[in-house]
A and B are shown apart, each in its own frame.
Chain A
Amino acid sequence: MIYMDSAATSLLRPPEVIQAVCEAMQRLGNPGRGAYDASLEAARTVYQARKEIGGLFGMDDPSRVAFTANVTEALNLAIGSLFGPGSHVITTCLEHNSVLRPLYRQERRGALLTILPCDQAGRLRYEELERALRPETKGVVCTHASNLTGNLVDIRSIGTFCREHGLVFVLDAAQTAGVFPLDMERDCIDVLCFTGHKGLLGPQGTGGLCVRKGLELDGLCTGGSGVQSYRKEQPPGMPERLEAGTVNVHGIAGLLAAVRWLERTGISRIHRRETELMRRFWQGVRLVEGVSVYGDVAVTPAENRAAVIALNIGDLPSGQVCDELAQEYGIAVRGGAHCAPLMHQALGTVEQGAVRFSFSYFNTEEEVDLAVRAVKELAKAAGSVQENV
């Protein structure tokens, strides 16, 4: 199989990640539940992961890094905690349902929501941000990169805007953590939500949020914490405040191994490699008759994009193209809607969906060339069918 669905999950990952998970399952107990070796070793592993993941995002206090099952849970936690009835929150039409649905729920509970539009290339219209501001505006929630088009959002500009206006800035870094440099201080991010299993190359079931000092959120759940058992409420200190029950120690051990691999390899090197592969693919398909490529790829330097190319072939349903790619060429990509309904509306692909190729550091030029050949052949076949109709 040629795997080109890394925006969905990093199936291609360093072997030490898998090894770390297996070792953790054999060796680690429940963190913070005892002073014996297996429990302490689990707590040390989780603590190191907090330190190193926080460090990756410019956060120097490990206690401000809380783990969740995925970025969706982290976003639900942050959005549910911050934007109650009467508050106004701004988001964008680039968002994934992991942002939109928690916001819609808050809207049903009495919050006010403004969604910033984008242009036909899926680029955010930043000039609308100032206009969206109201006296009751509490914050902005946005993605760093569209999971559908790969278009990047200028988060420093949004973060600076938030600081200037006293707003909370919640970032969904699902598509960029581990590939783009992120710094909570420099980028003025108050809450950074991440998933462990995409660019960070860790296992599924890992994710979390980094919360800047001075901002306190309420957890989604209450329950066991390993401290202060006789309190009726969740302990107020971070990170236990946001983590009820046993965290995914085995997954976190894998995530720690992955982060160490990222640090050794270098995020800029990984980003450069992914960019090269994306550019090679785009060069191969951009002029193919019948192929429509979405997003800002034609007008934005490749290094300022996530390594994603979304396209369609003629009016073929995207799911059918994916199936052809999988069955005839062994290429794994995602089709249909991409949990980004507003982006599909903006691109005019609600009915057709889109075929998304997303590239990994571990893909090769040969794989990319085969994918280009596959697209060309499918486009040619689709064209022939069209002519015969």
Chain B
Amino acid sequence: MEEILRVENLRKTFQLSQKQQKLEHTREKKRVAVDGISFSAYRGEVFGLLGPNGAGKTTTLRILASLIRPDEGDAWVQGCSVCHEPGKVREKIGFLTSELKLEDFFTPNYLFDFFSQLHSVEPQVREQRKKELFHTFGIENFAEVKVANLSTGMKQKVSLVISIVHDPDFIIFDEPTNGLDVLTAKVVTDFLLDLKRRGKSILLSTHIFSLAESICDRVGIIINGKMILCDTLQQVTNGDTLENRFFQLYNAYAQETGGEQV
């Protein structure tokens, strides 16, 4: 199998402001968000990162998208280092997270063209791709409506479409169905499956076990910034449900570290 992503010993620490220290009732000035994470993802597979809120999933994905730099370690996307070749990495990936917003003033049509130009997509290819994606997500009728006037679901669909204007081989989705109604979530899930069928590689973070079970080939479970387990879905579940396995692993980790079990 061709390795499309290799992550080696990623570590990321954040300084806590006084305000954050107060909010989190801690005197620690630093917080380790990602603590020596290593894993690989392969071409054509969907890799799911699972973990509770604050486990370090989003930080890991932001490092892989070259938005932030790791303190230690490195990762390679199709051979390009996120630390040393961030520009090349950004050309090769599609990245969707709820943190990334679209400008309310513009229409989906304008934004698609704008981001296509930034990704150096040829005009003819752009028009063809726009037609297909807008049709798939039912955006055609809203193509000239300003983002400000779109529903939350439609905004998420537009964000998703914008993140793949350049038809990347490797796509990173951070909680792609978060906050969506069931119908829109279904459209997004079906699209992820379609991408998988088309041979795209996907790295997905989610805490929705059913979504992970339905589309992931392999999963990694992150707790407190550490990769607790990383294997094929079959190996991880071992005949049980993913949810049960997750809680077993979580409680075992909590027992080991003196944390609170659930």
A and B associate: no
Interface set of B (CB-CB < 8 Å, partner A): none
Interface set of A (CB-CB < 8 Å, partner B): none
